[in-house]
Amino acid sequence: MEYNFSRIINRKGSNSSKWDNIKNVFGTEDLLPMWVADSDWPTAPVILEAMRKRLEHGIFGYTFPGEELNDVIVKWVKRRYKWDIKADWIVYTNGVVNSLNIAIKSWTHPGDDVIVQTPVYYPFFTSIKNNGCNILNNVLIYDNGKYIIDFEDLELKLKDAEKRIKLLILCNPHNPVSRVWTEEEQKRLGELSLKYNVLVISDEIHADFIFKGYQHIPFASISSDFARNSITFMAPSKTFNIAGLSTSFAIISDPYLRKEFVDMKAGILNEGNIFGLTAMKAAYENGEDWLEAQLDYLEGNKDFAIKYINEEIPQIKVAKIEGTYLLWLDFRALKLAQKDLNEMFLNVARLGLDFGDWFGPGGEGFARFNLAAPRSIIEDGLQRIKKMVNKI
């Protein structure tokens, strides 16, 4: 079946966070928004059809996921990531960030330390602070256009604050630097987490956005010891552009950790809404053809953007992109302070990007650019950046 990802659809006036909330975030509405990590195309037709059928039923009372959905997820995880999980490991939630907050509540006390690997998805910081914990930054090393984990720094921090560190949040694939962590890298991280008794919370929401030549390896799939010492968060929200349906799940193999998580989320998080659960089942059961077409289109967007930048804006660099649909752009050669760079994005490029300093230490001088849009929008965004750089 053919899918048209190039069609422009007006999202303004639909209460889109990406398009209708830009004034609250950036102070002006006259921007091309390329910040929020959702897509500017409709979800898979099989999902729309399933939701229409559910809508026609007309009754939307209390709901639960059901065993069929468990089986669908088990098969999806096996097929896409080569990971054998059991149905009773699955815990449904209504959002990965919400789930992260429950995880922090479950296994920390105020004053404890939580390790993050910056620059990283900025809601991690809010989740840690809101639960009274301290952020401990294990800043990634930017080496010849590619990010690597600073294991020496990581072990030093684990040694120095061993009694206070309770959690390490792993982002895989990493947002915003677009790394797909290898098995070797994750093994080393996992061994350190076991050595120092630190629980790994693995955010794998971008697991389905893997470019050619790479493979997503869930942290918990590497060994039974890692599985027992970790919580994995996944969702169809990014994959199928259904984030507004607030549906996600955790995979927790250890029964004690699973009970603690379930007990903590009781009365705070639910298991998802009727339409979210309907969409998840349709996506994982029949949406793979649409996903593969989307990945092909994104691969084209990635190649187009990198070629354009290399040829037309050589003053900026692109971090090597292995996964996600996010470009991490390096503007440091312009030698602007982050505040001045941000103002140039807004006042000259008229572009709403995620500013690098939002992502914590190591993000200064960078910006995140969303590739999940029709190619004409990608080109427009890049032309705006070129105009800005030429003016500088």
Q: What is the CATH number for 68?
A: 3.40.640.10
In the chain, pLDDT over 90 holds for what percent of residues?
95
Instruction: Please give the tally of structural domains in the chain.
Output: 2
Tokens standing for 100? Answer: 């992260």
Instruction: Decide if 55 is inside a domain.
Output: yes
Residue 323: closest CA among 181, 186, 185: 181
Instruction: Decide if 307 is inside a domain.
Output: yes
Tokens standing for 382? Answer: 């890049």
151 lies in the same domain as 235: yes
Segment 194-202 shows an average pLDDT of 97
Segment 138-155 shows an average pLDDT of 96
Look up the pTM and report it.
Answer: 0.96
Segment 349-363 shows an average pLDDT of 98
Confidence at residue 160, expressed as pLDDT on a 0 to 100 scale: 79
260 lies in the same domain as 302: no
Which are the contacts of 197, defined by CB distance < 8 A and separation ≥ 6? 162
Confidence at residue 272, expressed as pLDDT on a 0 to 100 scale: 87
75 lies in the same domain as 205: yes
Determine the Cα–Cα distance for residues 283 and 79; give it in Å rounded to an integer.
14
CATH of the domain at 338: 3.90.1150.10
202 lies in the same domain as 279: yes
Specify whether the backbone of 131 is left (phi greater than 0), alpha (psi in -120 to 50) or beta: alpha
Q: What are phi and psi of 231, to 5 degrees?
A: -125, 130
Determine the Cα–Cα distance for residues 252 and 164; give it in Å rounded to an integer.
23
268 lies in the same domain as 337: no
Amino acid, res. 272? G
120 lies in the same domain as 72: yes
Instruction: Decide if 9 is inside a domain.
Output: no
Determine the Cα–Cα distance for residues 352 and 348; give it in Å rounded to an integer.
11
Rg over CA atoms, the chain: 21
327 lies in the same domain as 357: yes
Q: Is the pLDDT of residue 161 over 80?
A: no
Tokens standing for 11? Answer: 């999202």
pLDDT digits (tens, 9 = 90+) for 68-121: 999 999 999 999 999 999 999 999 999 999 999 999 999 999 999 999 999 999
244 lies in the same domain as 293: no
DSSP conformation letters of 251-310 = E--SHHHHHHHHHHHTTT--S--HHHHHHHHHHHHH-HHHHHHHHHHHHHHHHHHHHHHH
Tokens 């630190």 — which residue? 198
Instruction: Decide if 2 is inside a domain.
Output: no
Q: Of 286, 312, 335, at which residue does a domain stop?
A: 286
Tokens standing for 134? Answer: 């301290």
Segment 328-340 shows an average pLDDT of 96
| Cβ-based neighbour number of residue 266 at 10 Å | 10
105 lies in the same domain as 220: yes
Instruction: Decide if 3 is inside a domain.
Output: no
95 lies in the same domain as 198: yes
Q: Exposed, middle or buried: residue 112 (CB in 10 Å: 0-12, 13-18, 19+)?
A: buried
Segment 370-375 shows an average pLDDT of 98
**Domain with 368 in it:** 17-44+288-391
Q: Is the pLDDT of residue 299 over 80?
A: yes
Determine the Cα–Cα distance for residues 75 and 87; give it in Å rounded to an integer.
10
Confidence at residue 232, expressed as pLDDT on a 0 to 100 scale: 98
Q: Is the pLDDT of residue 217 over 90?
A: yes
Residue 126, classed as helix, strand or coil, is helix
Determine the Cα–Cα distance for residues 59 and 107; give it in Å rounded to an integer.
38
Segment 321-338 shows an average pLDDT of 97
Query: Which carries the bigger pLDDT value, residue 174 or residue 392?
Result: 174
Instruction: Decide if 1 is inside a domain.
Output: no
Give the torsion sign (CA, 281, 71, 287, 222): positive
272 lies in the same domain as 205: yes
The number of CA neighbours under 13 Å toward the Cβ of 287 is 30
Give the bridge partners for 250, in sequence order. 91, 233
Segment 226-239 shows an average pLDDT of 98
Q: Exposed, middle or buried: residue 14 (CB in 10 Å: 0-12, 13-18, 19+)?
A: exposed
In the chain, pLDDT over 70 holds for what percent of residues?
99
Q: What are phi and psi of 161, to 5 degrees?
A: -125, 35
Instruction: Decide if 333 is inside a domain.
Output: yes
Segment 189-203 shows an average pLDDT of 97
Give the torsion sign (CA, 91, 93, 95, 98): negative
Q: Of 242, 266, 286, at which residue does a domain stop?
A: 286
Looking at every residue in the chain, the average pLDDT score rounds to 96
∠ at Cα 278 (276, 280), nearest 5°? 70
Segment 380-391 shows an average pLDDT of 97
Confidence at residue 97, expressed as pLDDT on a 0 to 100 scale: 96
312 lies in the same domain as 186: no
Confidence at residue 392, expressed as pLDDT on a 0 to 100 scale: 86
Q: DSSP code of 139?
A: P
Q: Is the pLDDT of residue 162 over 80?
A: no
Determine the Cα–Cα distance for residues 125 and 135; give it in Å rounded to an integer.
7
Determine the Cα–Cα distance for residues 286 and 363; give it in Å rounded to an integer.
38
Q: What are phi and psi of 176, to 5 degrees?
A: -110, 0
Tokens 């889109």 — which residue? 16
Confidence at residue 46, expressed as pLDDT on a 0 to 100 scale: 98
Q: Of 286, 310, 344, at which residue does a domain stop?
A: 286
> In the chain, what's the furthest Cα-to-Cα distance?
59
Instruction: Decide if 6 is inside a domain.
Output: no
Confidence at residue 269, expressed as pLDDT on a 0 to 100 scale: 80
Q: Note the residue count of the chain.
A: 392
